[in-house]
Structure 1
């Protein structure tokens, strides 16, 4: 895919991460399915207070996110590089559908949230750096800092005037995705997971078609 497609995919996936994270946050009452810094803090606080049962779920969420990152990265490495994006996206879509199926089948949505964390961990393996800003990930703390840093550079004349736009849009994508997830969960409950499953499936299909139509680069 060319840079324009990578940017579009990155922003769509960042918004999807915000959407899924909002669903998980509401469902779990303050824990996350993609923001592992928050879960790590929750885990540490619970351990420090000796609240072992409260520490279990954030620990499992962090673990499943980690497993997802290993599986997503492993898939990306195991297949030809040009097919990594559709393969990882297809895995993510199946995992989100698995979370939905588990959530509908069992009254305890904790298990579904673990599969949501697994999917979000895998998503980070879809795209690498896209010329100047990181998109498509499930966290934007780095992007927010880079946003501020590039605004400072622009204001002082030491950097491009609009160099901050990319990172700012990444942060905005996560914000809008989380807002959409909150509204969707309020109306549809866990069925709101149909949307991110559909988005990742659509992105996987489109990327596969683009790759199939593109000429194969020959190596010397």
Structure 2
């Protein structure tokens, strides 16, 4: 896969993170399936208020996300570098699809939320080898800071004029994905999870094709 493809994939993956986070936030009443800073704060507040029962779910979500990071890192380490992205995306597709099935079969069990956190943790490793690239992760605080910093430098004429655009687009991808997730949940309820599962599957298939073409020496865009 070439860098333009990685950029496109990264923006779509960022949108997926926003999408499932919006579903998780609505369904879980203020918790997240990809934004672990928020869950960590919720966990600490529950403990600080002497309510360990309310700290359990955010703790489980954090642990599931961490397990996903471990799985993504292991797959990345054990797979030839050029095949890392297709393999991790395939894993993410399988887990999100399983989350969809769990949500439909047992909507009140909370299992689907944990599976989504697992998938989002793994997703962060999908493009980790692309240097200097923030898209594809499940958090955009760093991108938002970079956006503001680069914009300030551009306005002061001390940096590249349009260097801030990329970071702004990453933040916008998360925003659009979150909005889409909220709208989809309002119309489809838990069946909305079929959408990110399908998109992740398409990305995994395209990544596999592109990687195979490059391995065989066939030019790619």
The TM-score normalised by the length of structure 1 is 0.96
CA distance in 2, matches of 1:146, 1:204: 29
Structure 1 stretches lacking a partner, 5+ long: none
CA distance in 2, matches of 1:179, 1:129: 29
The TM-score normalised by the length of structure 2 is 0.95
Question: Equivalent residues in 2 for 1:1-220 (5 A)?
Answer: 1-128=1-128, 130=130, 132-215=132-215
**Aligned-residue CA RMSD (Å):** 1.3
Instruction: Provide, for residues 55-84 of structure 1, a one-character-per-residue CA deviation record: whole Å limited to 9, x for no partner.
Output: 000000000000000001101111111111
Instruction: Provide, for residues 140-165 of structure 1, a one-character-per-residue CA deviation record: whole Å limited to 9, x for no partner.
Output: 00000000000011011111000000
8 Å CA contact 1:133–1:143 kept in 2: the answer is: no
CA distance in 2, matches of 1:12, 1:146: 20
Taking a change above 3 Å as real, the CA distance of residues 212 and 187 of structure 1, as seen in their structure-2 partners, is same
Runs of 4+ in 1 over 2 A off after TM superposition: 128-133
Structure 2 stretches lacking a partner, 5+ long: none
Deviation at 1:131, TM superposition (A): 5.6
8 Å CA contact 1:7–1:130 kept in 2: the answer is: no
Instruction: Provide, for residues 30-62 of structure 1, a one-character-per-residue CA deviation record: whole Å limited to 9, x for no partner.
Output: 000000000000000000111011000000000
Taking a change above 3 Å as real, the CA distance of residues 131 and 63 of structure 1, as seen in their structure-2 partners, is closer
CA distance in 2, matches of 1:120, 1:107: 20
Deviation at 1:130, TM superposition (A): 4.5
Deviation at 1:108, TM superposition (A): 1.3
Deviation at 1:107, TM superposition (A): 3.7
CA distance in 2, matches of 1:129, 1:112: 29
| Bigger mean CA offset, 103-112 vs 79-88 | 103-112
